[in-house]
Each structure stands twice: as structure tokens, then as C-alpha cells.
A and B are shown apart, each in its own frame.
Chain A
Amino acid sequence: MAKFKQKSKVRPAISTASLPDIIFMLLFFFMVTVQMRETDVMVQQRIPKATQLQKLEQANLVSYIYIGKPLEARFGTEPLIQVNDVFRRPEELPLFVEQEKSKLDENQRDQITMSLKVDREAKMGIVSDVQMALRNANARKILYASLMETDPTY
């Protein structure tokens, strides 16, 4: 009868040589899908939910306006408008729109889209002031940024 070879006691080490590859794959995925955070949002942002969402097609045509209660108490408790790291009054927005438009190619300037990121507790007074300013500045395409409502009640 043949002699059975005794199993060796030491278990072979699991090779971790492919671990970096997996991590790099994840890394590349994130590098491709994300955009860098450009502004520090200084206002509260609890974005409301809606069902009829549309995807924004061209990200380079978008400018952001943040509205909400300031996070720091020294700015008060009333909702403020933030663009590009600074607070602005509604009447200063046309200047901001012009600056944003000048960054775009001439043939795309009238397609500029303003994404309004408004906190759910903000009142319509400030939102309509912004809308009126945008209308006067001829930036009439707006997007109310919102999240997907998964179970609508209506």
C-alpha cells in the first residue's frame, strides 16, 4: 500500500499581490465619477425631495446658488444667498450672472443654467427675489436641485 503523504501543517499565505489592483480600480472609478468640491457651502442644505427630476445634461453650463440659514451664528438666523464662497444680496446677482456668462463660449451664453440649491425651510420670499434677479439678468433656465422621492404621497 502506497504511503500517503502527510499534509503539511503550515497553511500557504494568501497572496495579497492583487490587492493594490483592486484598490486602484476603485480609485479610478472615483476619480472619473466625481467632481471636486469647489466651494465651501456656508449655509444649511437640506435639499427637498421631488419625483419629476431631470438630469442636467451639460455640467459646464451650470452655476450654483445656495440659499439657506447660515451655519455660523454670527451671520444671523435668516436665510442668505451664497454664490462662490461669499454671501450676496439679490440685487448683486446680475453681476454674478455676467461673470459666470463670461466664462462660457459666446454661443453658449444664453444656455446658462442656474442651479438653485435651496434649503427646505427657506421661505419663498428670498427664492422669488433670486428668481426675479435672474430674470432681469436674462438667465432664465433654472433648476431646483432636489433629491429623488422614493415613495411619493401624492
Chain B
Amino acid sequence: MARRQRATPEINSGSMADIAFLLLIFFLVTATISSERGIMLQLPPKPEVQDQQVKIQERNLFKIYLNSKDNLLVEGEPVTDLARLKSMVKEFVLNYGANPTLSDSPEAAVISYKTDRGTSYERYLQILDILTAAYNEMYGERVGITAEEFRKLDLKDPKQKELYDRAREKFPKNISFAEPTKVGE
């Protein structure tokens, strides 16, 4: 009688790769890579009482208006050079009362950003990006880092959080969004 063979035959694993590919393709198709990035913003709170308007001195207000043709008006003058807008914002905020037409202090400075209902979102975001960049640069300068480094501070790390808090102390980012005008609707 012949002795039974003990060794089991090898299982062919050549198709394993195919199965894995199939799964891989399934995940590639159904999934989105989490790229949740964008410009953060805190909206102002709902006004409690309508008639209780806060009086802001004219000098502490930096007016930016985007019309329905996407043209920019800053403090009453048309601006086409976007690089200038950033330096204007910084000059306005960091005035500390020196120039009587600019802000008293960074704490009091308010940037009023007004658009039209016909302004394109792309243009709106571009200007908001510049305002954010101006503030990030100023925050960075306060604690001796670049705007890029400031933007990438990790708030979960207590050391970096401390740096962040120090930069933002008494230096709020006051951007007010006025009700849009209705020209280009």
C-alpha cells in the first residue's frame, strides 16, 4: 500500500495581487483625500439690540469696498495694485496714534469689508486672503517669526499655543462684514 503524501499542495497566491488591486481601486474611487483647508473666519455675534450701535471713530475705521464689477475702493480711493492694499492695512493698524487719519491702536482698529451682492466670490476671497495675510504678518512680527510660521502654529502644542496667544494679545483681528449693497443683483 502506498504511503499517503503528507505535504499539502501549495496554494497558488498569484491572484492575491488582483484581489488587492480590486480593493485598492474601490477605495480610490469612493474616497476623497481629506484636504480640509481654507480661510478661517469668526462671524460677529448676532446683534442683541438693534438700536444699540457701537460708535467707532472715523479714524479707526478702514473701509474696503468691492463693487459689482469687482473693482476695489479703499478709504475712498480706487486701488488696482493688490500689493499696496496689504501695506496700507499694516500701516493703518500699526499706526498707534501717530497719523491722525489712521488708527489709534491695533485694539481699536476695525476693518470694514463691504461687498456688493454682485461681487464674485473669487474676488471677495482674494481680498480676504490679503487681509488675513496682513494680519498674519503683523502677528508674526510681534513674536519674531514669519507669517508662514505663524500660520502653521500647532495650537495643540502648549509652547506654540503660548506663542500664538502672545501674538494675538490685545491685537484682535477686527474685520467687520457690512450688509452688501444691491447694485449688481
Contact = CB atoms under 8 A, between A and B. Distances in A.
B30 to A, nearest CB: 6
Contact of A52 (B31, B35, B39, B43): B39
B149 to A, nearest CB: 13
Name A's interface SS.
mixed
A113 to B, nearest CB: 8
Interface in B108-153: 115-122, 124-126, 128-130, 132-133, 136, 151
A120 B122 contact: yes
Interface string A48-81: 1011111111010010000100000000000000
Given A124-B124, A146-B125, A54 B24 contact: no
A19 B36 contact: no
Contacts, number: 171
Interface residues of A, number: 55
Name B's interface SS.
mixed
Q: Which of B42, B120, B132 has the most CB of A within 10 A?
A: B120
Interface stretch (B14-22, B49-57, B89-97): B14-22
A86 interface: no
B8 interface: no
B33 A127 contact: no
A19 B30 CA distance: 23
B86 A124 contact: no
24 contacts: A20-B20, A23-B21, A23-B24, A34-B31, A37-B32, A48-B121, A52-B39, A54-B151, A115-B36, A118-B121, A121-B122, A122-B120, A122-B121, A123-B121, A123-B185, A124-B119, A125-B118, A125-B180, A125-B185, A135-B46, A140-B45, A144-B39, A146-B38, A147-B37
Interface of B: 13-14, 16-17, 19-21, 23-24, 27-28, 30-46, 66, 82-83, 85-86, 115-122, 124-126, 128-130, 132-133, 136, 151, 155-156, 177, 179-180, 182, 184-185
Closest A-B pairs by Cβ, 8 of them? A125-B117, A34-B31, A154-B82, A23-B20, A20-B16, A120-B122, A56-B36, A52-B132
Given A140-B45, A154-B83, 10 more contacts: A20-B16, A52-B129, A54-B40, A55-B37, A56-B37, A121-B121, A127-B124, A144-B41, A145-B38, A154-B130
